[in-house]
Structure 1
Amino acid sequence: MGKNIIIIGGGIIGLSSAYYLQKEGHHVTIIDKSDLTKGASFVNAGYITPSHIIPLASPGMMAKGIKMMFNSSSPFYIRPRWDLDFLKWTWSFNASSTKKNVEKAIPLIKDINLLSRELYTDIYHSGDLGEFHLEKKGLLMLYKTAKEGKHEAEVAKRAQDEGLEVKTLSLKELNTLQPNLNKDILGAIHYECDAHTTPTELMPKLVAYLKRMGVVIKTEEEVLDFTLDKDNITAVTTAENTYKGDQFVLASGSWSEGMAKKLKLNLKVQPGKGYRINVHRKTGILLPAILMEAKVAVTPMQGFTRFAGTMELSGINHNIRSERVHAIAKAASSYYDGLTITQNEIRDAQCGLRPVSPDGLPYIGKTSSYDNLTIATGHAMMGWSLGPATGKLVAEIISEQKLSMDIQGFHPERKF
């Protein structure tokens, strides 16, 4: 018999959870404070990336962040501020940025990404959403300096050791795959294991499918409080309504820490702001790529090319810093010959807030405080990539099925 499930959050994680939960016969209601047309699930690079095996919390990242703190156009920017939650998160992030933790994270990241890539393919072939853009052309890591080339070669070797499809390209091979590159590019690593999508196409199709299947989606309603009965949640309250449920899923992205506090849970999450520029004209860009020195992601999507980037830790806000958008535009023209992003395209830039845990790994699973609460958040820069895998795992947890993979490393109460 199906359970009544309340999902707090309608981004890719919440929608993916609803997708798999309704397939198990559950009655699902999604509640989101937005109108489901914007946010991190709409402005991301659209990558499905088994190649991203190194978590954000890695050796040297804190020092890099402090160094870049005084340059607001840098790829990784931390805005100095007195905020106790942010300071606690920073301490945990620094403590997590060790070789030991990276080694523990690599197989976890690889396995959940491969699971998610398989599930994206299953969704595509199921016909549930109709036709949508899904291509497995891989991901180019383009570098201009020997330093970045050496660093990426080490990551590529590790990825190969993990069984991923990776190729080091000669300049001739690179220019055959992607013409019109600037002459100062020294080379590239091609992660053939990766795929990409168009988020602005897939998200509305997923919403439409869920509605057809009877999932109730309440938009522009913010969850304000919880009704508790000992170690169970019985309902959530918004300004408009009270929603009773048997099981609850917390998938509210960058707002998850504040939501968890209402339940007296300590869930460390900081919003990592990213920006995107869309170019709706021919760019000659054929393959997704990361411009390594600039840390900019480039994706040929359905009808446009997207340039996305930056990790800005500045709290919950949607302020667009023009210097950061201009840095993305400048990077694009410095890697692709003859490409100039116009002022109108720059003015049209949008941002989204990625939920970042201190160790760069998602929180997936139950807590010891509540029997009927499942956490699904904190995916950092891998939220889009890990949407289906997280949704599948959430459905398996709630349906009390065998899990598709070991999720102990994603435990919401793990120590940092």
Structure 2
Amino acid sequence: MSKKIIIIGGGIVGLSSAYFLSKEGHEVTVIDKSDMSTGASFVNAGYITPSHIIPLASPGMIAKGIKMMFNSASPFYMKPRWDTDFFKWSWYFHKSSTKEKVTKAIPVIKDINTLSLELFEGIKTSGDLGDFQLERKGLLMLYKTVEAYRHEKDVASKAAFLGLEVNELDKKQLARLEPEVAIDAKGAIHYECDAHSTPTQFMPKMISYLKNVGVDIRTNEEVLDLKLKGRHIQEVFTSKSNYKTDEVVLAAGSWSGEIAKKLHLNVPLQGGKGYSINVARPTGVTIPAILMESKMAVTPMEGFTRFAGTMEFSGNNDFIRKERVIAIANGAKKYYPNIDINENEMANVKTGLRPVSPDGLPYIGRSSKCANLTFATGHAMMGWSLGPATGKLVSEVVDGRNISMNIEPFSPDRRFK
């Protein structure tokens, strides 16, 4: 039976949810407070990464954050501030960062990433969006030190055990694989299972497709309140209108926690700011890479190469710290000595906020306290990679159909202890 569904949030997760829900015949409205041309879904590294099996909340991360707290140019930066929500989230993050919890999370993260890659490929094959970049060249983890190699070797062993394609490359093999660009690295771990895309190409095509099939997309419209009767949301109030609804999907990224509070729901989230610089000159880079010691990503996209990185916890704002931009340019230079990111390219840096849960796993599924609310947020650095999978899972939850995978670990009601 067709339902009226409001999706709050027009990023990759919200649009993917609209994509799969509309295919089931539902009347879908997407509401976003921006013009849907900026944000994390447009400035990310474009990775679809089954290899990213380790959640952000892993042993030692809080210690690193505290150590780097007073260095605003560090890859992982937590701005000192008085914020009770941030204090609680930090404590939950600390409690989640155990070896046991990471071990439990690994196969779950692998499964949802693998599902999402299949769905990306399905969207491309369907022709719904026309042609768009989706290349499966894998991901290079470039390292300069023995310590970084040993760390990634351990991750690669876990990935291989789970059936993912992964290889080791020495300096000569790396040069043969990337002959058009000089790389200063001892070697690389090559995750052949990964793919990449161009977000600024995919997103407009998805928006256009959704409009053409009747999805109502409302931009520059902020959700102000939700009318709750018993355990059901009856109406959504925005800065421009109000909407009666049968179902609500909360996919508002880093702002999802604030919207959940309007329903008296506690969903711990913090916005982790990322930066990206586009270089529209030929760089010679043909395979996506993560520069391990610099902790940044490089992606050959349609028409440019993107250099992206950093995780900054400083509140939900778009303030640009110049020292962090310079750190990305310098980090790239250390691995690609012939690539100089110039002042103009740095001046055009973009930022986006990634919604980070305390344990690094997304929130996907029904709220036990609100019967017609489905969460789809908290994906941290895997938002782009997990967009289609989340959309598919959301459609299955809303329709009460068999779920493609076990989503219990993603429960929005889970406790962090």
Give TM-score scaled by structure 2 length.
0.99
Q: 2:277 matched to which residue of 1?
A: 277
Structure-2 change in CA distance of 1:279 and 1:103 (3 Å): same
- The answer to whether the 8 A contact 2:184-2:337 is kept is no
- The answer to whether the 8 A contact 1:182-1:334 is kept is no
Task: State the alpha-carbon separation in 2 of the partners of residues 64 and 314 from structure 1.
Answer: 16
Task: State the alpha-carbon separation in 2 of the partners of residues 28 and 82 from structure 1.
Answer: 39
Q: 1:358 matched to which residue of 2?
A: 358
Q: 1:113 matched to which residue of 2?
A: 113
Q: 1:75 matched to which residue of 2?
A: 75
Whether 1:37 aligns to 2:37 is yes
Residues 15-54 of structure 1 mapped to structure 2, 5 A cutoff = 15-54=15-54
Q: Which amino acid aligns with 2:140?
A: L
- The answer to whether the 8 A contact 1:181-1:335 is kept is no
- The answer to whether the 8 A contact 1:21-1:395 is kept is yes
Task: State the alpha-carbon separation in 1 of the partners of residues 296 and 183 from structure 2.
Answer: 18
Task: State the alpha-carbon separation in 2 of the partners of residues 10 and 398 from structure 1.
Answer: 18
Q: Which amino acid aligns with 2:239?
A: A
- The answer to whether the 8 A contact 1:227-1:234 is kept is yes
Task: State the alpha-carbon separation in 2 of the partners of residues 46 and 332 from structure 1.
Answer: 17
Q: 2:293 matched to which residue of 1?
A: 293
Q: Which amino acid aligns with 2:28?
A: V
Structure-2 change in CA distance of 1:303 and 1:61 (3 Å): same
Q: 2:261 matched to which residue of 1?
A: 261
Identity of aligned residues (%): 65
Q: 1:327 matched to which residue of 2?
A: 327
Task: State the alpha-carbon separation in 2 of the partners of residues 305 and 150 from structure 1.
Answer: 28
Q: 1:60 matched to which residue of 2?
A: 60
Q: Which amino acid aligns with 2:176?
A: T
Shift of 1:182: 5.3
Q: 1:222 matched to which residue of 2?
A: 222
- The answer to whether the 8 A contact 1:142-1:185 is kept is yes
Q: 1:209 matched to which residue of 2?
A: 209
Task: State the alpha-carbon separation in 1 of the partners of residues 148 and 68 from structure 2.
Answer: 18
Q: 1:237 matched to which residue of 2?
A: 237
Q: Deviations over 1:353-380 (max 9, x none)?
A: 0000000000000111111000000000
Task: State the alpha-carbon separation in 1 of the partners of residues 414 and 338 from structure 2.
Answer: 49
5+ residue gaps, structure 2, are none
Structure-2 change in CA distance of 1:280 and 1:332 (3 Å): same
Shift of 1:415: 1.2
Task: State the alpha-carbon separation in 2 of the partners of residues 181 and 281 from structure 1.
Answer: 13
Shift of 1:70: 1.3
Q: 1:93 matched to which residue of 2?
A: 93
Q: What SS does structure 1 have at the residue aligned with 2:400?
A: coil
Residues 373-388 of structure 1 mapped to structure 2, 5 A cutoff = 373-388=373-388
Q: 1:137 matched to which residue of 2?
A: 137
- The answer to whether the 8 A contact 2:178-2:287 is kept is yes
Q: Deviations over 1:86-145 (max 9, x none)?
A: 000000000000001100100010000000000000000000000000000000000001
Structure-2 change in CA distance of 1:181 and 1:281 (3 Å): closer
Q: What SS does structure 2 have at the residue aligned with 1:106?
A: helix
5+ residue gaps, structure 1, are none
Q: Which amino acid aligns with 1:98?
A: T
Residues 97-176 of structure 1 mapped to structure 2, 5 A cutoff = 97-176=97-176
Task: State the alpha-carbon separation in 2 of the partners of residues 91 and 170 from structure 1.
Answer: 40
Shift of 1:179: 3.0
Q: What SS does structure 2 have at the residue aligned with 1:401?
A: coil
- The answer to whether the 8 A contact 2:249-2:376 is kept is yes
Shift of 1:323: 0.3
Shift of 1:229: 1.0
- The answer to whether the 8 A contact 1:180-1:336 is kept is no
- The answer to whether the 8 A contact 1:396-1:403 is kept is yes
Shift of 1:185: 1.2
Q: What SS does structure 1 have at the residue aligned with 2:375?
A: strand
Q: 1:371 matched to which residue of 2?
A: 371
Task: State the alpha-carbon separation in 1 of the partners of residues 352 and 256 from structure 2.
Answer: 15
Shift of 1:240: 1.2
Q: Deviations over 1:259-299 (max 9, x none)?
A: 00000000000000000000001001110000000111000
Root-mean-square deviation (CA, aligned residues, Å) is 0.8
Whether 1:315 aligns to 2:326 is no
Q: What SS does structure 2 have at the residue aligned with 1:149?
A: helix
Task: State the alpha-carbon separation in 1 of the partners of residues 139 and 351 from structure 2.
Answer: 23
Task: State the alpha-carbon separation in 2 of the partners of residues 180 and 8 from structure 1.
Answer: 44
Task: State the alpha-carbon separation in 2 of the partners of residues 360 and 211 from structure 1.
Answer: 32
- The answer to whether the 8 A contact 1:13-1:388 is kept is yes
Give TM-score scaled by structure 1 length.
0.99
Task: State the alpha-carbon separation in 2 of the partners of residues 323 and 336 from structure 1.
Answer: 20
Aligned length: 416
